């Protein structure tokens, strides 16, 4: 009798444990941790009137040129050349909401290589301007220098790894001291209700850009990013690994 009751209780405990969600386990990662089955977006603005194309044709052409360059990048088209918001990349794979804006502010990011063809001169597509996203409006409209700048990034499937390349500095005269112009002191991710340690940039020098990411083997569909310092967060090369490819 007692053995039967104990057996039933153990079974109930096991079933309950299996039904409960796994504990979140987010951790900071670098570029070396990203799995090969990833998608990396860069943001572009294309003046569709100037190039005389639909957005679908322009993006397909741009992606073909990026693929030929061999950098592993996929384009994400913006709706405006500055302060575009509600950015949607990969048909909803990554969505940057109304608290995230594009900007033309100077940066130390390396521009993607694009192998333009002679026919691109006809369409003017080779005059595409490359935009890098900044959290908050650009200095063109008096960006407030907040102590921290949180924003959310959402995904339409469960993600195991996510990150981007960060430029913590203003784009200054190269003759200025390399420790001047830092706008971002650090970044922190909140995934599944848990915060990672802060990725510290206070000892970095201007001109260096850094891949910073987060991983959680239990998966997540949104991540909150918190930047500390003077306010500007300049990001590029948003890299995503879905949970089913992890």
Phi-psi region of 10 (alpha: psi -120 to 50; beta: other; left: phi over 0): alpha
At 74 the pLDDT is: 96
pLDDT value at residue 144? 53
Residue-level pLDDT at 127? 84
Q: How far apart are CA 102 and CA 134, in angstroms?
A: 5
Cβ within 8 Å of residue 176, ≥6 positions away: 206
pLDDT at 209: 94
- Return per-residue pLDDT of the chain as tens, 246 residues: 444 443 444 344 334 333 334 577 899 999 999 999 999 999 999 989 889 899 999 999 999 999 999 999 999 998 888 888 899 999 999 999 888 888 777 788 988 889 899 989 888 888 887 777 776 555 555 555 555 788 899 999 999 999 999 999 988 888 999 999 998 899 999 999 999 999 999 999 999 999 999 999 999 999 999 988 876 788 999 999 999 999
Look at residue 14 in the predicted model and tell me its pLDDT. Answer: 38
Does residue 126 contact residue 120 with C-beta atoms inside 8 Å? yes
Residue 100, pLDDT score? 85
DSSP calls for the chain: -HHHHHHHHHHHHHHHHHHSPPPP--EEE-GGG--SS-EEEEEEE--HHHHT--HHHHHHHHHHHHHHHTS-EEEEEESSSSS--SEEETTTTEEE-TT-EEE-----PPPPP----HHHHHHTGGGPEE-EEESS--GGG-----SEEEEEEEEEEEEEEEEEEEE-B----TTS-TTS-B-EEEEEEEETTEEPPPEE-TT--TT--EEEEEEEEEEEEEEEEEEEESS--EEEEEEEEEGGG-
Encode 157-182: b = buried (16+ Cβ within 10 Å), e = exposed: eebbbbbbbbbbbbeeeeeeeeeebb
**pLDDT of res. 143:** 53
For residue 4, what pLDDT is reported?
45
Domain residue ranges in the chain: 23-245
Given this model, what pLDDT does residue 77 score?
A: 92
Q: What is the pLDDT of residue 11?
A: 43
């Amino acid at each position: 009798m007692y053995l039967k009751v104990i057996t039933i209780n153990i079974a109930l405990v096991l079933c309950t444990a299996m039904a409960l969600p796994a504990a979140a386990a987010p951790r900071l990662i670098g570029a070396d941790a990203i799995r090969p089955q990833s998608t990396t977006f860069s943001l572009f603005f294309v003046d569709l009137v100037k190039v005389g194309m639909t957005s679908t044709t322009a993006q397909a052409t741009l992606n073909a040129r990026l693929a030929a360059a061999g950098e592993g990048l996929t384009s994400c088209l913006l709706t405006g050349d500055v302060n575009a918001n509600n950015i949607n990349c990969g048909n909803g794979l990554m969505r940057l909401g109304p608290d995230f804006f594009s900007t033309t502010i100077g940066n130390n990011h390396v521009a993607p290589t694009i192998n333009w063809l002679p026919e691109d001169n006809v369409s003017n597509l080779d005059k595409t301007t490359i935009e890098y996203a900044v959290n908050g409006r650009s200095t063109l409209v008096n960006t407030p220098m907040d102590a921290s700048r949180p924003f959310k990034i959402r995904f339409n499937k469960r993600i195991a790894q996510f990150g981007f390349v960060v430029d913590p500095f203003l784009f200054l005269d190269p003759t200025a001291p390399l420790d001047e112009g830092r706008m971002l002191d650090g970044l922190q991710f909140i995934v599944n209700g848990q915060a990672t340690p802060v990725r510290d940039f206070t000892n970095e020098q201007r001109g260096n850009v850094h891949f910073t990411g987060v991983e959680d083997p239990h998966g997540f569909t949104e991540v909150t990013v918190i930047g500390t310092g003077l306010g500007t967060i300049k990001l590029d090369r948003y890299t995503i690994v879905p949970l089913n490819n992890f």
